[in-house]
């Protein structure tokens, strides 16, 4: 899947939320522990990671098609990977029925002219309150997930001039079809963290030009 490019109105390219957060090593210890555990179990963590990524990517594509009410035809891939993606998708359908939300938009690439960064929101919804919904097929929830959706919330507020009143993080199980979702009425601390990440990211780019 090609990387989304973000540009300001004057054509200046800016970094995306996940790049800004990821370059600073968020969740690296959790990933290192996961890779160690995969090796302990006799599995190649690179192959496992690629499989999980493929299943997660396809599950996201299935959900996006469902949100847009269009048909999705999965690519020719390993049957087990496809089954994991379908399991996560079924978990999505269960959650969607339970929550019964109204969709405002999905896969929304947005750019902040004020702060100079971009990001693609999984979904903006209404369930009594305007909310940002972020989807994950990871095995756990990490602090950087909160930082990510807090940044998405600010993007939405700036671009649509509407306050975000709630944040949802929905984890979809690829193995058992379970779902786990978290809700926050505000993520001000996480937004402060992102602003600091953004500052460090920009300084890091400046220093790279000097070496």
Range among 71-75, 94-98, 139-143 rated most confident: 94-98
Q: Architecture of domain 6-208 in CATH?
A: Alpha-Beta Complex (3.90)
Q: pLDDT tens for residues 25-46?
A: 655 444 344 343 435 555 443 4
pLDDT digit string, tens, across residues 99-147: 889 999 999 999 999 999 999 999 999 988 999 999 998 778 888 999 9
User: Residue 198 burial by CB count (10 A; 0-12/13-18/19+): exposed, middle or buried?
Assistant: buried
| pTM to 2 decimal places | 0.82
Residue ranges per structural domain of the chain: 6-208
């Amino acid at each position: 899947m090609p990387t989304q490019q973000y540009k300001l109105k004057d054509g200046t390219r800016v970094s995306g939320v996940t790049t800004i957060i990821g370059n600073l090593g968020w969740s690296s210890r959790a990933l290192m522990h996961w890779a160690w555990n995969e090796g302990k179990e006799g599995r190649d963590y690179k192959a496992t990671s690629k499989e999980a990524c493929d299943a997660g990517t396809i599950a996201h594509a299935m959900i996006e098609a469902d949100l847009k009410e269009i048909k999705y035809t999965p690519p020719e891939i390993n049957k087990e990977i496809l089954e994991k993606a379908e399991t996560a998708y079924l978990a999505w359908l269960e959650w969607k029925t339970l929550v019964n939300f109204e969709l405002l938009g999905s896969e929304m690439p947005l750019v902040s002219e004020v702060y100079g960064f971009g990001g693609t929101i999984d979904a903006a919804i209404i369930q009594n309150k305007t909310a940002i919904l972020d989807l994950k097929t990871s095995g756990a929830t990490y602090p950087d997930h909160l930082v990510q959706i807090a940044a998405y919330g600010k993007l939405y507020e700036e671009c649509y001039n509407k306050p975000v009143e709630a944040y949802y993080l929905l984890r979809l199980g690829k193995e058992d079809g379970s779902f786990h979702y978290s809700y926050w009425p505000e993520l001000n601390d996480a937004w402060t963290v992102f602003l600091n990440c953004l500052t460090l990211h920009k300084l890091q780019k400046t220093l790279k030009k000097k070496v």
